[in-house]
């Protein structure tokens, strides 16, 4: 796979990305983060600089794109990411609320027990989901999102891969 299809695969969330492809995407984004950090340090820019915000937004988009393609490789829709995010938001709010009700007000300050409970309670499920996304084997057959990824780990769906949707039967009035 040459550089141009790789860049297209990183930008476009359609298609599939296996474990190797996710590793490639993560390595590219980590390299970009390191270069951005060194550039910030050398130019004395701050994190709220418009250029830095635009670059970070682009990297976040690429991360979402790679995660969506990885979900496709697992046979799941990108909607799974939304539902998991909403579940994590609900869990985070419930956990923080429970800790606030059970502990003194200053327990939520960084370094205190309440903060550690909430931070760990939020971070551990997210880490588990991240590990699952990185290590779960993808579907070993072509699916509705594309063929089995090869090469650098990306596969694009072609029109012949997409199952046609049968037209709905309409009833006569």
Q: pLDDT tens-digit profile of 135-167?
A: 999 999 999 999 999 888 888 876 665 555 556
Residue 86 has pLDDT above 90, yes or no: yes
Give the list of residues 6+ apart from residue 26 with CB closer than 8 angstroms, or none: 66
Residue 170 has pLDDT above 80, yes or no: no
pLDDT, the chain, mean:
87
What is the per-residue pLDDT for 137?
Answer: 93
pLDDT in tens, 10-44: 888 999 999 999 998 999 899 999 998 898 889 88
Alpha carbons within 13 angstroms on the beta-carbon side of residue 108 total 12
- Summarize the confidence of residues 107-124 as an average pLDDT: 93
Backbone angles phi, psi at 149, to 5 degrees: -65, 140
Integer CA distances (angstroms), 13 to 22, 31, 88, 133, 167, in order? 12, 20, 22, 15, 26
What is the per-residue pLDDT for 61?
Answer: 94
Residue 83 has pLDDT above 80, yes or no: yes
pTM of structure: 0.80
* 105 vs 76, higher pLDDT: 76
* 58 vs 159, higher pLDDT: 58
Residue 171 has pLDDT above 70, yes or no: no
Tokens coding 122: 């939020």
Residue 2 has pLDDT above 70, yes or no: no
């Amino acid at each position: 796979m040459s550089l141009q299809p790789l860049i297209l695969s990183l930008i476009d969330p359609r298609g599939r990305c296996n474990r190797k492809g996710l590793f490639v995407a993560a390595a590219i984004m980590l390299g970009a983060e390191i270069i951005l950090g060194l550039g910030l340090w050398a130019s004395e820019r701050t994190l709220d600089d418009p250029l830095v915000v635009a670059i970070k937004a682009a990297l976040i988009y690429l991360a979402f794109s790679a995660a969506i393609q990885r979900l496709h490789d697992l046979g799941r829709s990108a909607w799974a990411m939304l539902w998991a995010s909403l579940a994590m938001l609900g869990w985070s709010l419930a956990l923080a609320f429970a800790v606030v009700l059970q502990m003194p007000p200053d327990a939520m300050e960084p370094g205190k027990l309440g903060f550690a409970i909430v931070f760990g309670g939020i971070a551990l499920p997210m880490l588990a989901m991240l590990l699952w996304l990185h290590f779960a084997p993808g579907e070993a057959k072509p699916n509705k999102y594309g063929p089995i990824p090869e090469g650098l780990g990306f596969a694009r769906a072609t029109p012949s891969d997409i199952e046609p949707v049968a037209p709905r039967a309409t009833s006569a009035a």
